[in-house]
Amino acid sequence: MSNTGVLIMAAGKGTRMKSAHPKVLHDVLDKKLIDYVIENALSYTQNVSVLVSSDEVSEYITNKYPIKILWQREQLGTGHAVKICCEWWSDFKNLIVLNGDVPLMKKSSLKNFIDSSLNYDCVITSFITENPGAYGRIVHESNNIKIVEFKDASDDEKKIKEVNAGCYAFKVKSLEQVINLIDNNNAQGEYYLPDVLKFMNQKNMRVNSFIMPELEMLGVNNQEELTNINLILRDEILKKHLSNGVNILDLNSVYIGSDVEIDPDVKIMPNVQIWGKSKILSGSVIGSGSILKNAVIGHDVNIIAYAVIENSELKNNSKAGPFIYIRENSCLEKNSFAGKFVELKNTIVGENSKVPHLSYMGDAVLGHNVNIGAGSITCNYDGKNKNKTHIGNNCFVGSDTMFIAPVEIGDDSATAAGSVITKDIPVNSLGVARERQININDWSKRKK
Ligand code: UD1
Ligand code: MG
């Protein structure tokens, strides 16, 4: 018998979101709501299972996590949700139940809560709030605790400021004795999980509440709460980076995901978004309007402004932008530069090389000390295959060169401006592939 299992309830209809998409797949910064809950659970144990009611949620989770999916075909309430999973949880000694719509709980708080539950049949999480809203109210009666749902609460109960945070720790043997006793005689006609407390009290089981920080336990039930959760998490992440020595000019317009790593002495200008597993080393500047996703940025990199960088690396002292798109495993090697209106796709720009303006380099490898003239393009796609362009060290590419890939330019070579390069160029050579110019003398006079 394994010790502890964690069941995440994510099968609710989420009707209050008024969205065609399941609630738990809504975004909180750069992840889905459910990601935070699953990551948290997996930090405690690998015995995690998620209860779902839609293929969309099931597919999302299965593609990302090695955890068990359980199905609730009819959404009859949180009590019904836990009950129908009993075959799964009856194998454990303890069962932790998490609401799939409560994403901000910290891993350390989850652990503290579970540790606190060891000597109880059931411990529920609560928080104390000035805005108890529609949360279930915690009613303390002598030694007992019960939860009254907002819709069933009396006016006096509605004034209670301690509310159910939706996370429970049960002794499985105790839960088994009460889970079948709950009914749906309430304002919502649902089987409420919190009703098990009533029966646990009757059986003199030991029940307790564990007070959590309010900001960690807010639930998402409508779009306003979702926006609020996004802002809370964003502020928390920005403050963490500020306290680590990151320089953020405008806290109101910068968004950083929870997995991003940033060194001290990185400067982040207004209107920047940094997502995914991005990593930025000290001395770098991320210019206004830039969006980084899984970007690895070295020391003293200057991203001037309006750069979109995805799954790519900018090494020490490189420079990018303004107005640049760098994507799909591209790399700016040390001291290189890619500038205005440039797109790099799966392309390496070698050390000290430059792609200063108006170019598309796709599936290309540029050696060191290369200069790409304005308007140059690698024609990498022939309609079927993506082909490679190799440009050797110390090459000078004239403006408006088209490289019809696959093609290879030897070291220390050059192309004449306006060339369409269809053949390899040997080392130390000039490729000229354009019509020679003819001048028609006195042409203007003749026209008159
Ligand atoms: C629930 C609690 C409430 C608590 C609040 C904290 C109940 C009856 N009420 O209310 O006391 O203050 O959480 O956030 O439990 N779900 C299912 N299947 C169902 C119904 C719900 O899987 O049939 C899932 C939902 O996807 C959600 C979670 O259970 O992740 C909670 O359901 P929700 O409808 O959001 O309950 P609340 O009204 O928030
Ligand atoms: Mg809820």
Residue range 79-104, pLDDT digits in tens? 999 999 999 999 999 999 999 999 99
Yes or no: say if 211 and 126 are a contact pair by the CB < 8 Å rule: yes
Distance in Å, CA 337 to ligand 1 centroid: 52
Mean pLDDT value across residues 415-431: 98
226-275: pLDDT as tens digits: 999 999 999 999 999 999 999 999 999 999 999 999 999 999 999 999 99
Look up 357 and say whether it is catalytic.
yes
Q: What is the pTM of this model?
A: 0.94
How much of the chain exceeds pLDDT 70, in percent?
100
Edge-first strand listing for the sheet containing 402-404: 255-256, 273-275, 291-293, 307-310, 324-327, 342-345, 360-362, 377-379, 402-404, 420-421
What is d(CA 105, CA 41) in angstroms, rounded to the nearest whole number?
Answer: 10
**pLDDT for residue 143:** 79
Which amino acid residue places its CA nearest to atom 11 of ligand 1? 136
Q: What pLDDT band is residue 15 in, cutting at 50, 70 and 90?
A: very high
pLDDT of residue 414 exceeding 80: yes
C-alpha distances (whole Å) from 203 to each of 80, 177, 184, 386, 397 are 21, 9, 20, 70, 84
Instruction: Quickly count: other Cβ atoms within 10 Å of residue 157's Cβ.
Output: 16
Mean pLDDT value across residues 34-61: 98
Mean pLDDT value across residues 19-23: 96
**pLDDT for residue 13:** 84
Distance in Å, CA 312 to ligand 1 centroid: 41
What is d(CA 235, CA 241) in angstroms, rounded to the nearest whole number?
Answer: 10
What is d(CA 384, CA 291) in angstroms, rounded to the nearest whole number?
Answer: 31
Helix (H) or strand (E) segment spanning residue 300:
none
Ligand nearest to the CA of 126: 1
pLDDT of residue 295 exceeding 80: yes
**pLDDT for residue 1:** 47
C-alpha angle with apex 164: 83 to 41, nearest 5 degrees?
60
**pLDDT for residue 448:** 79
What is d(CA 378, CA 415) in angstroms, rounded to the nearest whole number?
Answer: 13
109-122: pLDDT as tens digits: 999 999 999 999 99
What are 161's two structure tokens? 């400021």
19 contact partners, CB below 8 Å, separation of at least 6: 26, 223
Mean pLDDT of the chain: 97
Residue 166 Cβ < 6 Å to ligand 1: yes
Q: What pLDDT band is residue 141 in, cutting at 50, 70 and 90?
A: confident
**pLDDT for residue 142:** 82
